[in-house]
């Protein structure tokens, strides 16, 4: 297969983790005889420094003309600590999501058996955790009208949703649930918010055309508690933009490190793949950042194009690194391995793997049947 892939390394640890994902994609090209063309472009704080805007015109154009976008990370402390900044790196990512129409953000949360002891939660609570969050990505409070009074003392952000915005992601989530364990949980705040009541109405109605899927509802405050108390009860979680942002960080704790979780952002015409973690500026250039979330995001990219066997080869190489403890210090404080070494190990194991086709218990499947 030929694919044009736009690489947007972004800020902080973005470039160094993305480099490892590209190594793995190159290993896939070599092993499975594909041809991927990579083109890099600036986004985020680095683009503000270079071009004055967080999403330069050329970067957007490149993404629109690529088959997929692989994204690193975004954000820098000088903006985080300056509420008056007029231009912010994150605007680049939000604009990209919106311009590419990436309305569905898919975030699988699965416990790696080899890491079960690393979780801050008890083994008996987290074992068997395997759910996927469908987070609406181009609507709600993130994109609603923002106001600040002239004297700067009153501010508001509008949370608005249309039936159309709700139903297009709801259908994807129902389809995913149908292919998985047939349970869908809508997370909202329908006891307080009008927009959440619309979500309930629309999702309930759509549920009628998926009779095999068991639909239930949780208020987001309760959901936040249930994810920690009993994560294995969830199969597919469907939720709006901001609730999805918050509970997916919470979900990442279950597996022991936020450095493990990948995500896919899908629209009708475009797709982007990125770790759920941030730019972790304190670690930039230190060769300590965990590249696994970025590498697994590349696996989701492969999966998206139907390259399931290739995605599986990446996932089993990741599993091998975990099993052999070739991991970054977030997973093992004594580890002497850095980002680059872990990336090399995983990429080499894609090339050398003699068991690419051998899907065993240790392989955490990212194949369509298992993630979505
Ligand atoms: C995420 C991030 C982004 C978000 C930020 C960087 C704008 O936290 O992808 O979860 O809030 O969506
Ligand atoms: Mn987030």
Per-residue pLDDT of the chain (372 residues; tens, 9 = 90+): 999 999 999 999 999 999 999 999 999 999 999 999 999 999 999 999 999 999 999 999 999 999 999 999 999 999 988 888 889 999 999 999 999 999 999 999 999 888 888 888 999 999 999 999 999 999 999 999 999 999 999 999 999 999 999 999 999 999 999 999 999 999 999 999 999 999 999 999 999 999 999 999 999 999 999 999 999 999 999 999 999 999 999 998 898 888 899 999 999 999 999 999 999 999 999 999 999 999 999 999 999 999 999 999 999 999 999 999 999 999 999 999 999 999 999 999 998 765 544 444 344 334 333 333
**Whose Cα sits closest to atom 11 in ligand 1?**
245
Determine the distance from the C-alpha atom of residue 346 to the mean position of all C-alpha atoms in its chain, rounded to a whole number. Answer: 20
| Local structure of residue 157 (DSSP, 8 states) | E
* Ligand 1 neighbour 74 (Cβ under 6 A): yes
Judge if 247 and 261 occupy the same domain.
no
* Ligand 1 neighbour 136 (Cβ under 6 A): no
pLDDT at 359: 42
Ligand 1 atom with minimal separation from the 93 CA: 7
* Ligand 1 neighbour 276 (Cβ under 6 A): yes
Give the domain range for residue 232: 130-253
What CATH number is attached to the domain comprising 286? 3.40.718.10
In a mutational test of the pocket of ligand 1, which residue from 85, 278, 280, 281 has the highest number of ligand atoms less than 8 Å from its CB? 278
| Local structure of residue 189 (DSSP, 8 states) | -
pTM: 0.92
Judge if 21 and 1 occupy the same domain.
yes
The answer to the question of residue 369 being in a domain is no
Residues serving a catalytic function are: 142, 189, 221, 245, 249
Total domains present in the chain:
2
Q: Which residues of 88-119 are buried (b: 16+ CB within 10 A; e: fewer)?
A: bbbbbbbbbbbebbbbbbbbbbbbbebbbebb
Question: What does the radius of gyration of the chain's CA atoms come to, in whole angstroms?
Answer: 20
Compute, in angstroms, the gap from residue 207 CA to the centroid of ligand 2: 28
The answer to the question of residue 197 being in a domain is yes
pLDDT at 365: 37
pLDDT at 291: 98
Contact 88, 279 (CB under 8 A): no
């Amino acid at each position: 297969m030929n694919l044009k892939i736009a690489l947007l390394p972004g800020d902080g640890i973005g470039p160094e983790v993305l480099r490892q994902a590209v190594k793995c994609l190159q290993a896939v090209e070599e092993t499975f005889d594909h041809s991927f063309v990579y083109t890099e472009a600036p986004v985020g704080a680095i683009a503000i420094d270079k071009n004055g805007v967080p999403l330069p015109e050329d970067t957007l154009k490149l993404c629109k003309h690529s088959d997929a976008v692989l994204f690193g990370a975004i954000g820098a402390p000088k903006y985080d600590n300056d509420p008056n900044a007029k231009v912010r790196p994150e605007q680049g990512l939000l604009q990209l999501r919106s311009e590419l129409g990436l309305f569905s953000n898919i975030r699988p949360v699965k416990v790696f058996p080899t890491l079960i002891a690393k979780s801050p939660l008890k083994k008996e609570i987290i074992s068997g955790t395997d759910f996927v969050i469908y987070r609406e990505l181009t609507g709600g409070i993130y994109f609603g009208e923002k106001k600040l009074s002239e004297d700067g003392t009153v501010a508001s952000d509008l949370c608005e949703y249309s039936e159309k915005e709700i139903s297009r992601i709801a259908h994807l989530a129902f389809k995913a649930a149908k292919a998985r364990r047939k349970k869908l949980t809508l997370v909202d705040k329908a006891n307080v918010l009008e927009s959440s009541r619309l979500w309930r109405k629309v999702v309930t109605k759509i549920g009628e055309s998926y009779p095999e899927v068991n639909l239930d509802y949780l208020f987001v405050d309760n959901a936040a508690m249930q994810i920690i108390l009993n994560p294995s009860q969830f199969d597919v979680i469907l939720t709006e933009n901001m609730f999805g942002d918050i509970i997916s960080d919470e979900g990442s704790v279950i597996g022991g490190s936020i450095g493990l979780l990948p995500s896919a952002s899908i629209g009708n015409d475009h797709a982007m793949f990125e770790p759920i973690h941030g730019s972790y500026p304190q670690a930039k250039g230190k060769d300590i950042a965990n590249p696994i979330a970025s590498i697994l995001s590349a696996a989701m990219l492969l999966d998206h194009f139907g390259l399931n066997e290739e995605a599986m080869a990446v996932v089993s190489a990741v599993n091998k690194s975990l099993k052999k403890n070739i991991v970054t210090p977030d997973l093992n404080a004594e580890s002497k391995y850095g980002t680059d070494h872990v990336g090399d190990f995983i990429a080499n194991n894609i090339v050398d793997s003699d068991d690419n086709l051998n899907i065993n218990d240790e392989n955490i499947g990212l194949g369509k049947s298992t993630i979505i």
